[in-house]
Amino acid sequence: MIPPAEPDRTGWLRLTIADTGDGMTPEALAKIWQPFFTTRASGRGPGLAVPYRIIREHGGVVGAQSAPGRGTTGTIVLPLQAAP
């Protein structure tokens, strides 16, 4: 299991996205940030590697939880910045 993103913080935005799909095995979940990883029979795009990198480069944190038959929940936590 990938731990959920860091706890709530003042001045940070937390976005949680959940589905009720098939979920993923722990082995698949451990690979979701790798480029070109998929759990589908076809398709080999960059997957979640690109948004993971963008979020991390902006000081954010990404997390995911999943279990077969229970769906998947992803969390993104980003620092809020005041406009100049």
Is 6 among the domain residues? no
pTM as predicted: 0.78
Per-chain mean pLDDT for the chain: 85
Residues spanned by the domain of 37: 12-79
**Residue 4, domain member (yes or no):** no
Tell me whether residue 5 is in a domain: no
**Interval 41-77: pLDDT, tens:** 887 778 899 999 999 999 899 999 999 999 999 999 9
Domains of the chain: total: 1
Q: How far is CA 56 from CA 50, 61, 63, in A?
A: 10, 6, 11
Predicted pLDDT at 84: 53
C-alpha angle 69/18/79, rounded to 5°? 145
Task: Output the domain CATH number for residue 37.
Answer: 3.30.565.10
